[in-house]
A and B are shown apart, each in its own frame.
Chain A
Amino acid sequence: QVQLVQFGTEVKKPGASVKVSCKASGYTFSSYGISWVRQAPGQGLEWMGWISPYSGNTMYAEKFQGRLTVTTDTSTSTGYMELSSLRSDDTAVYFCARTIFGKFDYWGQGTLVTVS
C-alpha cells in the first residue's frame, strides 16, 4: 500500500534552517510528484512547492521563492523540504503529499516544526 512516512518534531531557532524528510513506499517513486503543504496552528492549508522525482523539475509558491528548496533522493524514495531563514510564523505542521496531475492523493502524517 502507498505510504508516505514523516518523522516527528523539529525545534529551531529563528534564522536557522530546517530539513524535513518524507519516505515513500508502495509505488514507483519516480512516477509521481511530491508536493509540500504546511498548516500553521489553527489555520488552513498552504501549498509550498512541488518536485518531479523523474525530471528534478521544481515549482515554488512565490511566497517561498529563495527560501525553500525541495529535493528527492530516488535511490531511497525520499523527498526533502528545506526552509531557511526561519521565523516564528514558520511554526507549522509540514506535510508531504504524492501529487498526480495536480491532486494530492496520499499524504504523510506531517512533521511539526516549531521556531522559537
Chain B
Amino acid sequence: EMVLTQSPDTLSLSPGERATLSCRASQSVSNNNLAWYQQKSGQAPRLLIFGASSRATGIPDRFSGSGSGTDFTLTISRLEPEDFAVYYCQQYGSSVMYTFGQGTKLEIK
C-alpha cells in the first residue's frame, strides 16, 4: 500500500509570504496522479491541484503544484488570509485505491 508523507506537519507564516508544502510517496505515483486539497475548519475539502500541476476550476494562480515520481510540492506564492487552512495530498494510482497524506496545517504566524 502506498503511503504519502507530508511535511511539515505545521507551517507558520505571515500573509504575503510564500508557502512550500511537501508530499513524499513511498513508491512512484503512476502518471503523476497526485492531487492537493484545501480544508478549512468545519468545511469539506476543496480540490486545488490535480495531475500534480494542473489547477482545478476557479483556483487562483497563486497556487501551483510541481513534482513527479515520489516527490511533490504545493506552492502558494503570496499568502492571503483565506489561505490559512489544512492541506492534503492524495494519490490516485493505477488501480482504484486512493490514499491521502496526513495533512499540513498552515497557520498564521
Contacts and interface: CB of A to CB of B under 8 A. Distances in A.
Q: How large is the interface on B (under 10, 10 to 19, 20 to 34, 35 or more residues)?
A: 20 to 34
Given A44-B103, A45-B88, A62-B1, A103 B47 contact: yes
A27 to B, nearest CB: 13
B1 A45 contact: no
Contact of B45 (A45, A46, A61, A101): A45
B22 interface: no
A32 interface: no
Given A45-B88, A62-B1, A109-B44, A104 B100 contact: no
Nearest to A93: B44
Given A104-B35, A107-B44, A44 B98 contact: no
Contacts of A95: 44-45
Q: How large is the interface on A (under 10, 10 to 19, 20 to 34, 35 or more residues)?
A: 20 to 34
Interface SS, A side: strand
Contacts of B43: 109
Interface stretch (B11-19, B74-82, B89-97): B89-97
A16 interface: no
Interface of A: 35, 37, 44-47, 50, 59, 61-62, 95, 101-105, 107-110
